[in-house]
Structure 1
Amino acid sequence: MLRILYLVHNLADPAVHRRVAMLEAGGAAVTLAGFRRGEAPAHSDGSTAIELGRTEDGQFTQRLASVATAAMALAGRLRHVSRPDVIIGRNLEMLALANRARAIFGGGIPLVYECLDIHRLLLDRGPVGRAMRGIERWFGRDAALLITSSPAFVRDYFAGFGQSEAPVMLLPNKVLELGAPQVSAREAAPPAAGEPWRIGWFGALRCRKSLDLLAAFTRQAGGRFEVVLRGRPAYREFDDFDGFVAAEPHIRFGGPYRNPDDLAAIYGDVHFSWAIDFFEEGLNSAWLLPNRLYEGCRYGVVPIAMAGTETARFLSERRLGVLLDDASVEGLEAALSGIDAKSYLALRQRVAAHDGTEWVAGIGDCRALVERLASLAGSRAEGEVLLEAAA
């Protein structure tokens, strides 16, 4: 069985636990180690993990100090861990710790750099950005594989800035479904007379510009559109998220949800999915292909994307969704004001008729991932994985 040491920046991140589930379903044994983010539980799903310290969201200097402290104590934290076949570092600071872990175990272990977001400091054109990119190139110099979720990250950053020569594995943010297919969402019927069209914005709620735009648009539309928010707000990015939402007549916040347990229910309650993020406008936000894109399309909801982004390119190639040409109330009105039952059902049917494997990762994807990782560790480990997967 392939042994993987997985180093992560946030042990409470649901995406981390989906990746662990994917690796384990593919036939690997995973040791999870990383940081607790703020006051959140380190591993809310009940799994066992090695805590390396605590970090704060958005506090980059504090995170660097925590990483330095963890590096000095890492040998002790890993003393009961068997030598892994592969070490994965999920983002830059964990890649640094992956290098340290590799040295502790005596070297020779393949390193994998998993990068699903490009931090804005890495894109700074001044001395700070040059230093950060130099650090990334240094720690990634021996990486045997780069895992990322969007071709734009490779094209516009890793190749564009000359950050990595490692082979690339694209691993999109698909909905993970193992075993029997998950229940389908009930389709939200076009609204009856006097009822609103509902736009769902789900997941990491961190974009103040999106919230302001949606608030202004729904007010201007006079109740013809309603916005449903679900997920975990990044409160530090808003002056008063709860107060702002409470004051908006056509926006409601339903709190966090369980992924994937609640996906069918929350997407079954909306007509459109907000697949737009201005959080790092023109940079990371323009390049990513977000979880909500795959989740919404998995459940047949029509995505709304911003023109000029990788999400818009992705949808345009497949002739899906609604594209917003201008990030303004007028732009949203131009894109959505003509919607009626007939045009909406045509949009929804195009999503529903699309190849579902584009939205969902199953057991085959899990095995392919682990087999790729096993190939880095050598033919013996790869053969063991193949035999176990076939058993």
Structure 2
Amino acid sequence: MLHILYFVHDLADPAIRRRVLMLQAGGAKVTLAGFRRDDNTLAAIDGVEPIELGRTRDSHFAQRIAAVAKSALQLRSLLRSVEKPDVVIGRNLEMLAVANRAKSILGGDMPVVYECLDIHRLLLRKDVFGGALRSAERHFGTDAALLLTSSPAFVEHYFRSRSGLDLPIVLLENKVLAIDGIRAEIAVPRLPSSGEPWKIGWFGALRCRKSLELLANFSRRMEGRFEIILRGRPAHSEFNDFDGFVRDAPFMRFDGPYKNPEDLAAIYGEVQFSWAIDFFEEGLNSSWLLPNRLYEGGLHGAVPIAVDGTETARFLANRKTGLTLEKANAANLVALLGDMNSERYLAAFNALAAQDRRQWMTDRAECRGLVERLASLTDAGQQTAELQTLPQLHRNRGGLQ
């Protein structure tokens, strides 16, 4: 059984839980280690007791770097009971540094994988500080065996053009994990009853102040014809007063966190539309990403709303589905949705329902494929590949798989 040592930036992030479950479903043993930003019991993984490296704070970069430096000094002691892994994964740049340190402590001959699912705005700065961070990324990532990322636009706009890294790349989209009884039933349209509003769901990592204000403004203009439902983990550091803002918005409510993927069918089944827009790093990461909620809404029949000029909008346009906002303001959202009726909604829903559902979800076969790809990086995996001469295991460096 392939043993993976997985270093993560936030043990309370539900996306970490999903990745660990995916690796386990693919047949790997996972040792999880990382920092914690807050407490979130919904992110706990049965049978996995993580190694906690310390506490970090969201949007406090200097504090995070100090915490990473401190953990590096303590890492030998923290890993003393860990069996030598076959592969080490570092999720995000600071954890890639920790993964490299762990490799040297544990023996120095196992492959390190760089998992990067967001391009932080600091890496894109054109000043000395941004250049220094990219140099650090090249330093820690040059000898990595593989890069895992989630959007083709990240490869096009950053990894191939700016990062200076030359690594084999696996595109690992943020699909819904559908294994072991996680229900992914075919969605049905949900027309609102007489007098009920249309509902837009904004679920997941709630970190975009512009989205919050735009949706509140739009719902006020619609005078109750639309209701905004928020679920997930608000990044309170990005809002002046998230709870107070939502409390004062008459047609908006926050229903708390949820378990992913177990609760997805229920929460998306309550809404007709999914807000697949993020202005958190507008023009940069937010324009390039393909968010979790795109796949979640697609699988569960919530019509995604994107904004023109983004990778999400291109994704939907290529499939002739979803709704696209021309410009990011409440007036344009009123123009897009203001005349919504049963006929328009059913046309949008049916276009979504006609899509191949496999593009929204990761099944056990894909989980096994990922673990097999990771296993191919090891000495034993490379020897097996040479014997079998499997072409997919002999990609050139820099190739997108």
Q: Give yes or no for the alignment of 1:24 onto 2:36.
A: no
Q: How many residues align?
A: 384
* Whole-angstrom distance in 2 between the partners of 1:118 and 1:378: 31
Distance apart, 1:190 and its partner CA: 2.2
Aligned partner of residue 376 in structure 2, secondary structure? helix
Residue in structure 1 matched with residue 238 of structure 2 by the alignment = 237
CA distance in 2, matches of 1:248, 1:382: 61
CA distance in 1, matches of 2:55, 2:296: 30
8 Å CA contact retained: 1:2, 1:381: no
User: Gaps (5+ residues) in structure 2?
Assistant: 386-401
Aligned CA distance change for structure 1 residues 248 and 187 (closer, same or farther; 3 Å): farther
Go from structure 1 to structure 2 and tell me whether the alpha carbon gap of 1:176 and 1:39 turns closer, same or farther (over 3 Å shift).
closer
- 1:388 alignment counterpart: none
Q: Structure 1 residue 317 and structure 2 residue 305: aligned?
A: no
Residues 1:163 and 2:164 aligned together: yes
Q: 1:111·1:144 contact (CA, 8 Å) conserved in 2? A: yes
Letter in structure 1 aligned against 2:369: A
User: How big is the shift at 1:5?
Assistant: 0.8
Matching residue of 1:263: 264
Identity %: 59
Letter in 1 for 2:336: A
Residue in 2 that maps onto 1:93 = 94
Partner residue of 1:375? 376
- 1:5 aligned counterpart, secondary structure: strand
CA–CA separation in structure 2 for the residues paired with 1:87 and 1:330 = 48
Partners of 1:135 and 1:186 in 2: CA distance: 46
Q: 1 CA distance for matches of 2:383 and 2:15?
A: 25
Assess if the C-alpha contact under 8 Å between 1:214 and 1:227 holds in 2: yes
What's the counterpart of residue 120 of structure 1? Answer: 121
Aligned counterparts of 1:364 and 1:341: Cα–Cα separation in 2: 38
**TM score, norm. by length of structure 2:** 0.92
Give per-residue Cα distances to partners, 1:203-254, cap 9 Å, x unaligned.
Answer: 1111110011111111111111111111111111111111111111111111
State the 1:379 CA deviation. 3.6
2:148 is matched with which residue? 147
Q: Deviations over 1:325-372 (max 9, x none)?
A: 111122102211232111111110111121111011010011000000
Work out the CA distance in 1 between the residues paired with 2:75 and 2:117: 24
Equivalent position SS for 2:148: strand
TM-score (norm 1): 0.94
Kindly indicate whether residue 221 of structure 2 is the aligned counterpart of residue 226 of structure 1.
Answer: no
Give the root-mean-square deviation of aligned CA atoms: 1.8
Does residue 352 (structure 1) correspond to residue 353 (structure 2)? The answer is yes
Give, in angstroms, the shift of residue 26 of structure 1: 0.8
Q: Is the 8 A contact 2:276 2:293 kept in 1?
A: yes
1:30-45 equivalences in 2 (<5 Å): 30-40=30-40, 44-45=44-45
> Per the alignment, do residues 326 and 380 of structure 1 end up closer, same or farther by CA in structure 2, a change over 3 Å counting?
closer
CA distance in 1, matches of 2:231, 2:369: 32
Deviation at 1:189, TM superposition (A): 2.4
Q: What's the secondary structure of 2:196's corresponding residue?
A: coil
The aligned amino acid for 1:31 is T
The residue number in structure 1 matching 2:389 is none
What are the superposed Cα offsets for residues 58-96 of structure 1, whole Å, 9 maximum, x if unpaired? 111001001001111111111111211111000000000
| Structure 2 counterpart of 1:387 | none
Name the CA shift for 1:188/1:355 in 2 (closer, same or farther; >3 Å). Answer: closer
Partner of 2:65: 64
Change in Cα spacing, 1:354 to 1:181, as seen in structure 2 (3 Å) is farther
In structure 1, how many angstroms separate the alpha carbons of the residues matched to 2:345 and 2:107?
59
Deviations 1:258-297 (A, max 9, x none): 1122111111110100000001111111111111000011
SS at match of 2:301: coil
Aligned AA for 2:32?
L
Cα distance change, pair 58–41 in 1 and its aligned pair in 2 (3 A): farther
Confirm or deny: 8 A CA contact 1:185 1:265 kept in the other structure.
no
Partners of 1:315 and 1:74 in 2: CA distance? 44
Structure 1 residues 170 and 249: CA distance shift in structure 2, 3 A: same
Q: Match for 1:311: what amino acid? A: T
Change (3 A) 1:222 1:256: same
Change (3 A) 1:182 1:42: closer
Distance 2:369 2:186 in 1: 28
Q: Larger deviation: 326-335 or 189-198?
A: 189-198
Deviation (angstroms), 1:196? 1.2
**Paired letter, 2:33:** A
Which amino acid in structure 2 is aligned with residue 15 of structure 1?
Answer: A
Distance in 1 (CA, whole Å) between partners of 2:259 and 2:169 is 31
CA drift at 1:39: 4.8
Alpha-carbon contact 1:305-1:324 (below 8 Å) kept:
yes
**Does the Cα contact within 8 Å between 2:152 and 2:171 map onto a contact in 1?**
yes
User: For 2:4 and 2:205, how far apart are their aligned partners in 1?
Assistant: 28
What is the CA distance between 1:380 and its match in structure 2?
4.7
- Equivalence for 1:4: 4
Relative to structure 1, the CA distance from residue 43 to residue 249 in structure 2 (aligned partners, 3 Å threshold; closer, same or farther) is closer
Helix, strand or coil: the match of 1:113? strand
- Rounded Cα–Cα distance in structure 1 between residues aligned with 2:84 and 2:382: 13
- CA distance in 2 between partners of 1:200 and 1:185 (Å): 19
